[in-house]
């Protein structure tokens, strides 16, 4: 199987419609093909989003007026004493209809929820540990989760708006006065991004800034017209180092990917899809690791 073959059957694969042998071919190909693993992750995410949109859509919701009517009807039937045996029978018949309707709606909601969850998981025949673990199984180290909140804040208040309390300083100045790792960080990040994305990657600005008391080496990039932040900060917890890039939470319409290297935590924050943000982190992680070790040798 080659990449073209895979791209033609990726949807059948996700729908678990392939023969067992073909499934095995797919898994063998995915084991050594990163491009197709990324394609699979993107397609899986897209399908989950589409399903989610249907479940959340207006026509899938219970009409609030209907809900109020049902509640009032139930209440009046219970509170009003039945005037006759026939009236009581009528009330019970009405109640039975309402209960059946409520159970039906609950079952429907449950079944759509379940199918949304299933869409995120790989097909049964797939050994998920070989390919991409379903969301939630990858454990993000606690300190990265904690720093990611500041990374989101910095992206919002520094890259997207200009609402920092302290003015940022240049990377050259930060390299002289704070940490040599700042020198040329923007250049190494941009080189890696241009190698992969060509002219779609444009440097907006690079500086050393502080938010919530945390200092970041901050490179702001326009990637295919989306504003993306690459943020580097010194790690306090040096034990959990060298984590590979992984999805690192989301904040409203933003997603983050993070990794740690040589005593630094690195974040990519963007309004792109999680899979795309992760792709950016994968693209720069090697160059960033080399940059950090280079700076340490020079220091």
The binding site for Zn ion (CB under 5 A) comprises 3, 33, 36, 158, 209, 218
Residue with smaller CB distance to Zn ion, 211 or 292: 211
Please provide residue 284's backbone torsions phi and psi, each rounded to the nearest 5 degrees. Answer: -95, -15
CB of 168 to Zn ion, least distance (A): 5
CB of 215 to Zn ion, least distance (A): 10
Residue with smaller CB distance to Zn ion, 38 or 73: 38
CB of 200 to Zn ion, least distance (A): 22
Residue with smaller CB distance to Zn ion, 35 or 72: 35
CB of 273 to Zn ion, least distance (A): 20
Residue with smaller CB distance to Zn ion, 144 or 159: 159
Residue with smaller CB distance to Zn ion, 208 or 259: 208
Rg of the chain, C-alpha, whole Å: 26
Q: Is 220 exposed, middle or buried (0-12, 13-18, 19+ CB in 10 A)?
A: buried
- Which stretches does DSSP call E strand in 74-213? 201-211
CB of 43 to Zn ion, least distance (A): 13
How far, CA to CA in Å, does 174 sit from each of 68, 217, 225?
Answer: 61, 9, 28
Residue with smaller CB distance to Zn ion, 118 or 227: 227
Residue with smaller CB distance to Zn ion, 44 or 218: 218
Q: Cα(183)–Cα(215) distance, rounded to whole angstroms? A: 15
Cα-Cα-Cα-Cα torsion 167, 172, 176, 181, nearest 10 degrees, comes to: 100
- Residues 6 or more apart from 253 whose CB is under 8 A from it? 271
Count other C-beta atoms under 10 Å from residue 231's C-beta: 28
Written as six digits, the tokens of 95 are 């109640």
How far, CA to CA in Å, does 6 sit from each of 9, 37, 181, 266?
Answer: 5, 10, 41, 32
- Residues 6 or more apart from 48 whose CB is under 8 A from it? 116, 119, 120
CB of 178 to Zn ion, least distance (A): 14
Query: Number of C-alpha atoms within 13 angstroms, CB side, residue 174?
Result: 23
CB of 242 to Zn ion, least distance (A): 25
């Amino acid at each position: 199987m080659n990449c073209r073959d895979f791209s033609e059957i990726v949807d059948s694969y996700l729908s678990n419609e392939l023969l067992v042998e073909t499934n095995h071919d797919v898994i063998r190909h995915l084991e050594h093909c990163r491009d197709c693993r990324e394609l699979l992750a993107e397609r899986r995410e897209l399908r989950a989003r589409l399903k989610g949109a249907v479940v959340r859509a207006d026509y899938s919701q219970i009409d609030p007026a209907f809900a109020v009517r049902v509640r009032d009807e139930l209440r009046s039937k219970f509170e009003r004493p039945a005037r006759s045996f026939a009236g009581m029978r009528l009330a019970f018949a009405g109640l039975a209809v309402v209960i059946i309707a409520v159970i039906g709606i609950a079952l429907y909601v449950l079944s759509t929820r379940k199918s949304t969850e299933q869409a995120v998981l790989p097909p049964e025949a797939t050994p998920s540990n070989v390919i991409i673990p379903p969301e939630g199984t990858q454990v993000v180290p606690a300190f990265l989760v904690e720093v990611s909140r500041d990374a989101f804040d910095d992206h919002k208040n520094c890259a997207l708006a200009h609402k920092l309390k302290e003015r940022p300083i240049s990377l050259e100045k930060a390299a002289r006065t704070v940490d040599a790792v700042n020198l040329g960080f923007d250049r190494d990040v941009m080189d890696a991004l241009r190698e992969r994305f060509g002219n779609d990657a444009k440097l907006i600005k690079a500086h050393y800034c502080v938010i919530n008391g945390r200092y970041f080496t901050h490179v702001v990039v326009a990637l295919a017209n989306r504003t993306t932040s690459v943020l580097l900060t010194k790690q306090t917890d040096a034990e959990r180092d060298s984590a590979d890039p992984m999805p690192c939470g989301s904040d409203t319409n933003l997603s983050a990917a993070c990794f740690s290297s040589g005593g630094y935590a690195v974040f990519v924050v963007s309004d792109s899809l999680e899979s795309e943000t992760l792709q950016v982190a994968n693209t720069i992680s090697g160059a960033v690791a080399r940059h950090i070790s280079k700076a340490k040798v020079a220091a």
